[in-house]
């Protein structure tokens, strides 16, 4: 995380759940990640199902 700070604007002095999620999402969506297209496809599919039936997910 400390090295990753050099390429982004992350506050690593105080690690929060928001910072962890932001780092995770940023790293997953980087162009060098071979799984990036699959992650995006799966997220979109999940979102489509969720939007159709939101009451099933509460």
Q: Give the per-residue pLDDT at 44.
A: 92
Per-residue pLDDT of the chain (58 residues; tens, 9 = 90+): 445 545 555 556 777 888 888 888 888 888 888 999 999 999 999 989 888 776 776 5
All structural domains of the chain with their residue ranges = 4-57
Which tokens sit at 50? 């969720």
User: Which residue bears the tokens 């799984």?
Assistant: 35
Q: Give the per-residue pLDDT at 37.
A: 94
Q: Give the per-residue pLDDT at 40.
A: 92
CB burial of residue 22 (10 Å; 0-12, 13-18, 19+):
middle
Q: Give the per-residue pLDDT at 9.
A: 58
Q: Give the per-residue pLDDT at 12.
A: 61
Runs of H (alpha helix) within 1-58? 17-28, 36-52
């Amino acid at each position: 995380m400390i090295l990753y700070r050099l390429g982004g604007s992350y506050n690593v002095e105080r690690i929060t759940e928001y910072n962890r999620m932001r780092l995770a999402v940023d790293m997953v969506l980087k162009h060098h990640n071979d799984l990036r297209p699959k992650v995006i496809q799966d997220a979109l599919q999940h979102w489509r199902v969720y939007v159709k039936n939101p009451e099933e997910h509460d």
